[in-house]
Amino acid sequence: MAAGGILPDSQILSLTRDGRVIPAEALADGQVQPASLDLRLGSRAYRVRASFLPGQNRTVKDVLDSGVVMHELDLSAGAVLETGCVYLVPLLEGLDLPADISAAMNPKSSTGRIDVFTRVIADNANAFDQAPAGYSGPLYVEISPRTFSILARPGDRLVQARFRRGERKITREVTVSVDLQGFDGRIGWRARRHAGLIDLAGIGAHAPLHYWEPVDTRDDRLVLDPGEFYILASREAVTIPLDEAAEMAPIAPEIGEFRAHYAGFFDPGFGVAEAGGTGGRAVLEVRGRDVPFILEHGQPVARLVYEPMAAAPDRPYGTVQSNYQAQKLKLAKYFMPA
């Protein structure tokens, strides 16, 4: 009997070979991660009036055909997805999952760090970012840029899927706090309003100071301004061993004055010394909410929830191209080194 837990890279490839993950095009290099699969944008985007869930006995296409679409965009030559708008894009990957395997989705790290809000929607879904065991059908991604407009094309990867065999089993939880003492005098970055466009194909091509204001150390505290978006870092170094995967979750939903993350998957090998990860911090994507809020150094802001792997990955995080191994306070991969 196959072991339960999060599927590693080798078993994700097996799902593809067995027709359980159905890509409209051959998988691209680097698309299979140690414990997740990057999902790619298709060629069409629909500007919709509002976010939605289809609910039971209704497909996403049924909802699109019901009048929620304002207009369509062809992504083939690149199209701008504007801030403050909601778009729905069919993904190139569909699913035909076995009865014992489910999928959970999350934004990629680089997506959260540019304040692009994403959620994956399946047919008949009553919840975002979930495909139940045995799901068979297409996947769509809702995209809502919050701070920076983005230039998107088919094949761009904003979200990822993690596959789980059996029921979810949490092995442990670790509290993550915020570092406000800083790195070389800097504790974070605050996004500039009305900044330029971010081209998702422009890896390392954007000047940080055109998009971000440095936030310097001030008495081990930071006042979060309502509606502003910040990149901060955890005080703790994070390690994900090869037999576990982790997901970042809110530490206390009742704390309503800030949101502490968008992207939540941590793959096995992150922060592991053998993979070059000694001292890797968790980067925190923080948005202030309704009123100014004082964040103190060492204040708990999130928790890492660990789960067992079904098997160790063939290529742990950090042993192949990894943008964030051994990171401290690091912006998304789209920006030049700061």
Answer yes or no: do 226 and 104 share one domain: no
Q: What is the pLDDT of residue 192?
A: 96
- Name the domain count of the chain: 2
The yes-or-no verdict on residue 1 having pLDDT over 70 is no
- What tokens appear for 68 in the block? 């929620």
Answer yes or no: do 10 and 154 share one domain: yes
The yes-or-no verdict on residue 29 having pLDDT over 70 is yes
- Assess if residue 322 is contained within a domain: no
Q: Which residue has the higher pLDDT, 329 or 92?
A: 92
Report pLDDT digits (tens) over 221-235. Answer: 999 999 999 999 999
* CATH number of the domain that residue 291 is part of: 2.70.40.10
Answer yes or no: do 132 and 263 share one domain: no
Answer yes or no: do 87 and 107 share one domain: yes
Q: Which of 244, 222, 245, 246 is closest to 233 using CA atoms?
A: 222
Answer yes or no: do 237 and 137 share one domain: no
Report pLDDT digits (tens) over 112-140. Answer: 999 999 999 999 999 999 999 999 999 99
Answer yes or no: do 263 and 134 share one domain: no
Report pLDDT digits (tens) over 289-304. Answer: 889 999 999 999 888 9
Answer yes or no: do 15 and 154 share one domain: yes
- Assess if residue 181 is contained within a domain: yes
Indicate the burial class of 83 (C-beta count within 10 angstroms; 0-12, 13-18, 19 or more): middle
Between the alpha carbon of residue 109 and those of residues 41, 58, 234, 331, 333, the distances in Å are 16, 31, 15, 10, 9
Q: What are phi and psi of 139, to 5 degrees?
A: -130, 145
Report pLDDT digits (tens) over 140-175. Answer: 999 999 999 999 999 999 999 999 999 999 999 999
Beta-strand relationship, 139-145 and 116-122:
antiparallel
Q: Which residue has the higher pLDDT, 193 or 323?
A: 193
What is the amino acid identity at position 70?
Answer: M
Answer yes or no: do 158 and 187 share one domain: no
Answer yes or no: do 36 and 134 share one domain: yes
Report pLDDT digits (tens) over 253-286. Answer: 666 667 776 668 999 998 877 655 566 788 899 9
Answer yes or no: do 222 and 154 share one domain: no
Q: What is the pLDDT of residue 196?
A: 93
- Assess if residue 317 is contained within a domain: no
**Over the range 156-172, which residues count as b (16 or more CB within 10 Å of their CB) and which as e?**
bbbbbbbbbbeeeeeee
Q: Which residue has the higher pLDDT, 47 or 251?
A: 47
Mean pLDDT of 92-103: 98
- Assess if residue 314 is contained within a domain: no
Range of the domain at 11: 5-165
